[in-house]
Amino acid sequence: MKLCEINFDGIVGPSHNYAGLSLGNLASARNAGAVSEPRAAALQGIDKMRANLALGLAQGIFLPHPRPDRQWLMDLGTTIDDADPALAANALSASAMWAANAATVSPAPDSADAKCHLTVANLRTMPHRSHEWPATLAQLRLAFAGEGFAVHGPVPPAFGDEGAANHMRVASSHCEPGVEIFVYGISGGAFPARQHIEASKAIARLHRLDPDRVIFAEQSEAAIAAGAFHNDVVAVANERLLFAHELAFADRDSLVTACERLVPGFEYVEVPAAEVPLADAIKSYLFNAQLVTPPDGQPTLIVPTEARETRSVWGWIEKHIGGNGPIRKVEVVDVRQSMANGGGPACLRLRVVADPDMVDPRFMVDNDKLDRISGVIERHWPEEIHHDLQRPALIAKIERARLALLETLGLSELA
C-alpha cells in the first residue's frame, strides 16, 4: 500500500446558518443571529480544497447531512413545521461540515491488526451535534469499506467524544508507527469540557493501539475557559512536529518528554503567551490551521485570513518563518463564513493516513470534480439565510440542493 495523509473536507451544507448553538465557542456566540451566506461558505471551502491540491496533497470530501434532520425531530415527537424555533435550529445545523469532529482515526501502522481504524464521534455534549453520528457513520462505512479499514460505531453517550479535534499523532513520518495523543478535558469554568478521558481510553482499546505508544494529555482549564472548546484550537501536530500554545496543556512538560522519548527527531514549537495572548490565538485560529507536509517535504501551515489580520499572531509567524524554524512555509486561505461560526481550516477536515486507492473513489476529488461540485453549489445553495429558518420554501430549497449534489456525485444511497 502507498500510504499518505488524505484530508477529507466537509462540504458546507445548504442550511449553513448562525444560530449560536455552541456554548463555549466564542465566534458562534458572537455571530448568533447574523445573516449567513451558504453559497459563499461552500465555495470558500471548495477553494481551500483547491489550494490543498495545488500543494500536492491528497484530497477527499464528506457530504452535507440531511437537513432538517426529520428523523431526529420525529424521535422528539415533532416536525420541522411544528417544532419550536430553538429545536428547529438544532435540526437544521450544518455543523457536520467540521469534519475534524467526524471521527478519531488511527492509521494502520499504529494498530495491532494493521488496519486503519475510525471511530465515529458521538458529539453528545451539544444537542445540535449529537444527532450527526448516524449520517457520518453511513459515509464512513461507504468511503472506507475496504478490508484495510475498521469502522466503529460511537462510544456510548455516557462519555463525550469529539473526534479528531481532541486527538493528535506524532511520528517520524505518516507511514511509520506513531504515538497517538488523546487530549481530554476536566473543567472549563463556565464552559463544558467536551472530551472525556473514558471515551479516549475506549477508542485506544477499540483501535488496538500499543498502550506504550498512547498518551492521554489533559487540556488546560485556562484554554477551555478562554474558548478553546477543542484541543485543535490551541495545538496541532504533524509527523515529528507538535505546534502548541504555551497554555494548551495542563502538564506540558510530561507530554513533551514522552514524545521526545518515543519519536526520533521530535520537535516541539511553542508560542509563548507573552507574544501571542491566548485570546489572540483563539480569535485568529492560529492553531486551528492545517499543518501539512507537501511532496517537497517542507512543513507548511495553512492559516485563515484572520491570522494575518491579528498583529501578534502574524508577527510571530513572520518571526518563526524568517528565523528558519521547523515550520517552513505558511499559506493563507479565506474561510470567513466557517470562521464566523467557530471553525477554521483544521475544523473543516478529517486527516486519514491511508492508500487513496483503497478509498471509495466517489469520496476523492480532483479539480474537475471540484468544478462539478461548485456548479451544483452555485445553482442550488441559498445565497443568504436570515432568521426565519422554518420557512417552507427555504426548507424545500435546502433539501433539493443536497439531493442535487448526491446525484452529481453518484451517492444516491445517502439520500
For 319-361, give the secondary structure using H, E and C. Answer: HHHHCCCCCCEEEEECCHHHHCCCCCCCCCEEEEEECHHHCCH
Distances in Å between the alpha carbon of 149 and those of 9, 103, 174, 220? 19, 13, 16, 33
User: Stretch 241-249: mean pLDDT, rounded?
Assistant: 97
Q: In the chain, what are the domains? A: 4-414 (3.75.10.20)
Active-site residues, by number, are 162, 230, 347
Cβ-based neighbours of 61, under 8 Å, separated by 6 or more = 8, 9, 10, 11, 49, 363, 364, 365, 373
Cβ–Cβ under 8 Å, residues 24 and 192: yes
- pLDDT of residue 267 exceeding 70: yes
- Convert the pLDDT of each residue in 130-155 to its tens digit: 999 999 999 999 999 999 999 999 99
pLDDT, residue 251, reads 97
- pLDDT of residue 394 exceeding 80: yes
pLDDT, residue 22, reads 59
Which runs of E-coded beta strand occur in 80-199?
103-106, 116-120, 149-152, 167-171, 178-184
| More confident call, 24 vs 125 | 125
pLDDT, residue 405, reads 98
Cβ–Cβ under 8 Å, residues 121 and 104: yes
Task: Supply the pTM of this predicted model.
Answer: 0.95
Cβ–Cβ under 8 Å, residues 415 and 406: yes
For cell 495553512, the residue is 302
> C-alpha grid cell for residue 180?
497517538
